[in-house]
Structure 1
Amino acid sequence: MTDSDTAARLPVRLTINPRQRQPSSVDLLTWIHRHPEYRPVVRASGGGGGRPGFSDAVIIAVLAQGLLPGLFNLLQSWVDQQRTEASIRIQTGDAEVELQVSGRTDSARLLAQATEALRAAREPGPEPGSAPGPDAAG
């Protein structure tokens, strides 16, 4: 099994905050639930996002990373149809990244951004601005 196979199976938690400028013809959760593979893993959070301009329709998803491409495609098609935006907070392990989705966002690029940001957040490295330790070559 390769590292990418393992990563595709690791659970990811997403918090999706759709921005509602006007009432939508189809709410995002209904849009996503049209695809049976997402029904058991995507649900309403039951609480508001607490962020100005974002709706109370916060959606929580916990799924394998392998399902992200399809979910991002669904989210992008909903954003395009509704002419709106959404914010996605993605967490896996201790890594977290937040992405904005608009009508100008490409779902493949969104997936690449999420994957790269999560990979960078998971890799241990020196703290920004920290000096090398006493064992550092110099």
Structure 2
Amino acid sequence: MTDTAAAARLPVRLTISPRQRQSPSVDLLTWIHRRPEYRPVVRAAGGGGGRPGFSDAVIIAVLAQGLLPGLFNLLQSWVDQQRTEASIRIQAGDTEVELQVSGRTDSARLLAQATEALRAAQATEALPAARESGSDAVD
């Protein structure tokens, strides 16, 4: 298996907090669950995001990185339709990054930002393991 294929299977945790100025015509979780591959891995969280202006409809997803492009496309289309915004916290290993999604956000750019953050997390986690094994590949 290639490193790219292996990375696509590694799980990533996302916390999605939609900003809702008014009640949406379709809530985000229902929107995402229209695609069956996301039903078992995307669920409503137990509480609010605790951020001013963001709703209590926080969504948690733990999924393979290979599913991120489709999820980001769904999120972007929902944001565009609702004319609203959302915040995504992505956690991989010990690294966490937060991305903002608005009507001006490109889902391909979201994926690029998430991928870069995940690479950084993998590199950070690989560094101690390489040092423990005495590898000269890591400086």
TM-score per shorter chain, which class? 0.7 to 0.9
Pairwise CA RMSD of aligned residues? 1.4
User: Larger Rg: 1 or 2?
Assistant: 1
Matches within 5 A, 1:10-89: 10-89=10-89
- Rounded Cα–Cα distance in structure 2 between residues aligned with 1:54 and 1:44: 14
Shift of 1:121: 3.2
Query: Residue 24 of structure 1 aligns to a residue in which SS?
Result: coil
| Runs of 4+ more than 3 Å apart | none
Q: How many corresponding residue pairs?
A: 126
Structure 1 residue runs of 5 or longer lacking an equivalent are 127-138
Task: Name the amino acid aligned to 1:51.
Answer: R
TM-score by length of 2: 0.87
Q: Which structure features the higher share of helix residues?
A: 2
Shift of 1:95: 1.8
- Rounded Cα–Cα distance in structure 2 between residues aligned with 1:67 and 1:75: 12
TM-score by length of 1: 0.88
Query: Residue 55 of structure 1 aligns to a residue in which SS?
Result: coil
- Describe the superposition over 1:38-66 as per-residue Cα deviations: whole angstroms up to 9, x where unpaired: 00000000211111000000000000000
Query: Residue 123 of structure 1 aligns to a residue in which SS?
Result: helix
- Rounded Cα–Cα distance in structure 1 between residues aligned with 2:39 and 2:7: 22
